[in-house]
Amino acid sequence: MTQAPPGWYPDPQAPPGVVPLPRWWDGNQWTEHYGPAAPVAHAPYVEPPATTPDGQPLAGWWSRVWAVLIDGLILLPVFVLITVPFWGDIGDAFSSYWDDVRDSVDNGSSSPSAWQLQRDLLGPLIAIALLGGLVNFVYNVGFVLWKQATPGKLLLGLRIRLRETPGRMPFTTVLVRWATQYGPTYVIGSIPFVGYVASLYATADALWPLGNRNKQAIHDLAAKTNVVRTR
């Protein structure tokens, strides 16, 4: 160190195995002035990826949303095709109601009852809900039993499995999962006013994985399943 300019340098007299403190070299000799120890760099904590108990990675929320949208696009033309006659009935009910409203205005008579319109709409709406539920049931339950996933999930590399056990699921599990995911929508969703409850439930179910540490929706919790990534 006789050639080194004055400055802070690691203490050459530090005991073996001890990180040397900075020590002041005055250009001729070591002084008794020590600097603070250099801060120890710590790697930032990284949240481990969520997995099933046996280590299979769980699907993210957005990938599940995209899978549902893809399935919806596949089902939409089928749903529209089989329910066309009932949408016509709904149009006729509204048309008849507004004709009665105009007649009451022209004649000065009492307005037609809105409850009658609700009763006229109830039958077609129930028929649409039942047909929609049937198509949805065959599509979702059939594909999940066959491939452990709907086409939307298959396209995105997702599968459904029991959280504790990989592989195919029993029919009862698939049935419980479908009933707790779609049942409220198709059972009470078409009933005026009461249907809002089904909408609230569907929204809560869709958002539930965002706050659940195992990324499970309400229907996953009921059926003890997880949606996992396979690629």
Given pLDDT bands bounded at 50, 70 and 90, which one contains residue 56? very high
**pLDDT for the residue 172:** 97
For residue 46, pLDDT beyond 80: no
> Could you give phi then psi for residue 159, rounded to 5 degrees?
-140, 160
Tokens read off for 26 = 């005055």
- First-to-last C-alpha distance (Å) of the chain: 58
SS3 160: strand
pLDDT (0 to 100) of residue 191: 65
Alpha-carbon distances, residue 217 vs 79, 204, 227 (angstroms): 25, 9, 10
How many whole angstroms separate alpha carbon 113 and alpha carbon 116? Answer: 5
Among the ranges given (12-16, 22-26, 120-124), the one the predictor scored with the smallest mean pLDDT: 120-124
Reported as a single tens digit per residue, the pLDDT across 201-214 is: 999 999 999 999 99
What residue ranges do the domains of the chain occupy? 1-37, 61-229
Which residues contact residue 111 at a Cβ distance below 8 angstroms, ignoring those fewer than 6 apart? 100, 101, 104
Which of 1-5, 24-28, 151-155 tops mean pLDDT?
151-155
Q: What's the confidence (pLDDT) of residue 168?
A: 92
pLDDT at residue 143, as a whole number? 97
pLDDT for the residue 33: 80
pLDDT tens-digit readout, 118-163? 777 778 888 888 898 999 999 999 999 999 999 999 999 999 999 9
